[in-house]
Structures are given as structure tokens and as C-alpha cells.
Amino acid sequence: VADLMTTAALLKGKKIHPDVSCTITPGSKQVFETIAAEGALTDIIASGARIIESACGPCIGMGQAPNSGGVSVRSFNRNFPGRSGTKDAQVYLASPETCVAAALTGMITDPRELGKMPRIKLPEKVTVDDSGVIPPSKTPGKVEILRGPNIAPLPINEPMPSTLEGDVLLKTGDNITTDHIMPAGAKVLPLRSNIPKIAEFVYCYVDPEFVRRAKEKKGGFIIGGDNYGQGSSREHAALAPMYLGVKMVLTKSFARIHLANLINFGILPLTFSDPADYERIEQGDRLQLPMVSDLLATGADLTVKNLTKGIDIYVTYQLTPRQVAIIRAGGLLNYIRGGGR
């Protein structure tokens, strides 16, 4: 609310530059109703800015994609290459004030050059309207689940076997994002309710052969560099690899949210005790983690055996006892179904 109230105050009495397309996405229906009630919406619309739906949209190329070679200044989340829907666009992340300054001048501009920043007064109370929320049934077991042709049942992982063994399906570099793992966009997002279909796009822009290889090998392992899984939380970036049989991801380090998602879907996240050992594993190597389930349960150290090269690699994990139980159960759903054991 504060950002859009400030935006409205900066736009009041002014017009968007004729060479600029300016869209504004309220964060929620509640925010939308609040700025309307406070009069801010009128000033935004009068400036020539357009209001679009509160949803995943321009941030993943679902509409408002920049022209080829164009420049877009945005106040929301990510600017990974191609995420805007245009591969060669330049996307800059900025404050709402800087975005307004760019929209008014037609170029990236320091908002302080437009004069003194306006002071806004936030509403003392924000109305919460939850009339559109349907409460859960008191008899959930009797609820019929209606599934269309593009809605598939959620795949459930199997409990962790005593020993994990498989091939390295992919070795990645540093800063792999969840967009790399599970792309979004107009082509992929409609499949989010159909895991078998959306899984066909896992790592498709990094290695087009990844899915075929994972199916042929009936799953396996992924090796990564630093900050693996950064970016959007995107549960499908863990769920779809789980569906393809990925059992373990071994990296130099993980992004926090993706680490949690891997655990929730029963994929074991490990890190190199010595980051230099990253160089001792290659795509296609056969790896084994003997007695891994029992060792995790006791909190013991783990060793990955590279059967192809005949070497042992020491690895670490930072898992709570509950997280260990979740992974051993094959994921959070299995853990809950088992009564939290």
C-alpha cells in the first residue's frame, strides 16, 4: 500500500512519457481496494498508467514483454536473462520511485531530480475482506476432487532406500536459479497442475537432453556449485525433479528456500565438505551412498563413493532431526501421512 500511495503521489497531475508503456500490479485485491478507497487509484489512472491483474504476469513474461532489445525498469523480484519474455531485453530492478521517474521522463532517472519526495498518509485501518474465501469442508473425506484433462494427481515419492546409487545426470555451475531448473512463462505455467507434463521442461534451457537422460537412467543425482536454487521459491523446481527420480543434490552451497523445498519432496541435499571436491565428479559418474538412511538417522557423517573414479568424497548436511525424518519418509506428505514419524 505504501509503495502505491507514493507512486500515486508522484504521478498526481503528471502524464506518462509517450514512449513508455507503464503498468502497475497491485499486490493483492486488498491493496487494490485500499488504494481505490484512498483516492490513489484515480491519480494513477489519470497519469496514463495501466492497472493489471494481481497475479504472476510480467515478472515471468506473461504479458508486457519488452520489445526486442528494449529496456524495462521494474520494482519487482527478478531480472534473470529472458525471464521478462524477451531474451535480449535489458531489465533493471529499481525502487518504485525510480520506476515512476523513468516512466515520466522516458529514461532511467534519479527520482530526486523530480523534486522533493511527497509525504503520504497511510490509512489507519486496512479492511480485510475474506468473503471470497471458501472455508474447508468439515468432512474432507467426502469431498469429490474434480480433475480436468490437465490436472493430474500429485505424485508421491517413495521412502528413502537403505543405499542410494545412481549416475550424475547433470553437473551445473554456480548460481543456478529455479528458473534454470523449472522454467516459467506462457508455455510452461499452464502445466503446473500436471507434474508429468511440466517435468518435460526440467532444465530444458540448460541441457535439452536432461529429461531424456533422467528417464533412461530411472533417476539419479545432480551436482551443483555455489548458491544452487536461488530465485523464486517455485516448488515445482523440486517437485518435478523428484518425479524424474532425482534422489540427491550435492553442491557447494544451497539457496535457503530451495533447500527447504528439496527436503519437503524427499530429495537429499548435501554439500561438499571440501568445495574443491566439486572437481572430482563429472556428469555420468556412478555414485553411491551406502547405508545412507541409517546413517542420517544417527546423525553420522556421510561419504559419497564415486564408483567410476574409485574415490571417496566427504559431504556434510545441515538437517534437523525432523528434516531427516521427512527425507527418510520420502517427503513431507509421506511424513504427515505417517503421523509425523
How far apart CA 183 and CA 87 sit, in angstroms, is: 13
**What pLDDT shows up at residue 44?**
97
Distance CA 57, CA 183 (A): 14
> Please, are residues 200 and 211 in contact by the beta-carbon 8 Å criterion?
yes
Chain CA centroid to CA 226, Å:
17
The pairing of beta strand 164-171 with beta strand 286-289: antiparallel
Q: How many CB atoms lie within 10 A of CB 12?
A: 15
Domain with CATH 3.30.499.10 in the chain: 2-114
Q: Which fold has domain 2-114?
A: Aconitase; domain 3 (3.30.499)
Cβ(47)–Cβ(15) under 8 Å?
yes
Q: Distances in Å between the alpha carbon of 179 and those of 192, 242, 276? A: 14, 16, 26
User: What is the predicted pLDDT for the residue at 77?
Assistant: 72
Using 70 as the pLDDT threshold, list the residues of the chain that sit under it: 341
What pLDDT sits at residue 18?
97
Rounded to whole angstroms, the Cα distance separating 67 from 69 reads 6
b/e sequence 15-40, b meaning 16+ C-beta within 10 Å: ebeeebebebbbeeeebbbbbeebeb
Contacts of 42 (CB under 8 A, 6+ apart): none
Longest dimension (CA), the chain: 72
301-328 per-position pLDDT tens digit: 999 999 999 999 999 999 999 999 999 9
Enter the DSSP assignment of 17: -
pLDDT for the residue numbered 203: 97
Domain 164-337 in this protein, CATH class: alpha beta
pLDDT at 62: 79
Give dist(CA 188, CA 200) in Å, integer. Answer: 10
* Integer Cα distance of 160 and 340 in angstroms: 16
320: exposed, middle or buried (Cβ count in 10 Å: 0-12, 13-18, 19+): exposed
Q: How far is CA 113 from CA 2, 6, 96, 106, in A?
A: 21, 16, 15, 14
User: What's the confidence (pLDDT) of residue 193?
Assistant: 95
pLDDT at 242: 98
Q: Where in the chain are all domains bearing CATH 3.20.19.10?
A: 164-337
pLDDT above 90: percentage of residues in the chain = 78
